[in-house]
């Protein structure tokens, strides 16, 4: 079984709270940092640890050991300067994966220049969607209701060379493959390396999956997660 994902959330406003709550539902370990003691107390039930600290001070982040977390989220919203300074310090301290909140296109550009690996401009529901993408490790995750979702992911290695009939996803996992995006490298007539991209909206049941393919699956969230967990653990049989 995969180890728990460790997350650090800096800033516990509306977005930070939404993200913390959803990450905990996904069984992540979540540490929250805020300079406001009231915000920490209000969100304590969603956090494994709370830290009252000024994230614009590099030493405070160093003491936290930010390079030990799988993901660090900069959720500071109103104070753009603090948002930028915290992101810069995290980058300098070697944080593994920095995901920063942005308020504009220009703000996003600066955050990327400072070292943010991903920039988001969130509404409340973005926190939930982002947590599912990270914890489940799907490339993209779109939730339509409490249980129904569509996900995109690269074809797992165990599917290479197999077709839909052999995989029998509907029977084993009660999920459906709705599309295949083929990304097939080839050399064109000019001798240049390029990629053939083709989206099949009606998948051929006899098509054999290849290394660079991306697939789109729809189904119950728990069944989609079970499919991915079986792949990650090396077990392709359904329980």
How many other CB atoms are there within 10 angstroms of residue 226's CB atom? 18
pLDDT grade for 239, boundaries at 50, 70 and 90: very low
Q: Which is the CATH superfamily of the domain at 138-233?
A: Regulator of K+ conductance, C-terminal domain (3.30.70.1450)
| 6-132 CATH fold | Rossmann fold (3.40.50)
Region of 162 (left: φ > 0; alpha: ψ -120 to 50; beta: rest) is beta
Both tokens of 14, joined, read 């509306």
pLDDT score of 196:
55
- The pTM (predicted TM-score) of the whole model is 0.58
Exposure class string for 35-61: b at 16+ Cβ within 10 A, else e: beeebbeebeebbeebbebebbebebb
Listed by start position, the domains of the chain span 6-132, 138-233
Most confident of 23-32, 182-191, 208-217: 23-32
pLDDT grade for 21, boundaries at 50, 70 and 90: very high
Are the beta carbons of 90 and 72 closer than 8 angstroms? yes
Are the beta carbons of 211 and 185 closer than 8 angstroms? no
pLDDT score of 2:
55
Answer yes or no: is pLDDT of 181 > 60.
Answer: yes
């Amino acid at each position: 079984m995969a180890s728990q994902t460790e997350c650090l959330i800096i800033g516990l406003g509306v977005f930070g709270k939404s993200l913390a709550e959803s990450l905990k539902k996904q069984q992540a370990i979540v540490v929250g940092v805020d300079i406001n003691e009231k915000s920490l107390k209000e969100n304590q039930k969603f956090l494994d640890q709370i830290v009252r600290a000024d994230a614009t001070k590099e030493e405070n982040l160093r003491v936290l050991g930010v390079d030990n977390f799988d993901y660090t989220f900069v959720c500071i919203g109103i104070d753009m300067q603090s948002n930028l300074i915290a992101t810069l310090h995290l980058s300098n301290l070697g944080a593994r994966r920095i995901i920063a909140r942005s308020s504009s296109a220009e703000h996003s550009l600066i955050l990327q220049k400072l070292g943010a690996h991903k920039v988001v401009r969130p509404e409340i529901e973005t926190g939930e969607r982002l947590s599912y993408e990270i914890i489940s490790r799907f490339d993209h995750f779109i939730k339509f209701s409490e249980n129904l979702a569509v996900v995109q992911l690269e074809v797992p290695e165990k599917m290479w060379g197999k077709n839909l009939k052999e995989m029998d996803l509907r029977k084993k996992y009660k999920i459906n493959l709705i599309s295949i995006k083929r990304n097939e490298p080839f050399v064109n007539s000019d001798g240049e390396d390029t990629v053939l991209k083709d989206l099949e909206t009606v998948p051929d049941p006899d098509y054999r999956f290849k290394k660079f393919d991306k697939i789109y699956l729809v189904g119950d969230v728990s069944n989609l997660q079970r499919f991915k967990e079986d792949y990650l653990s090396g077990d392709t049989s359904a329980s």
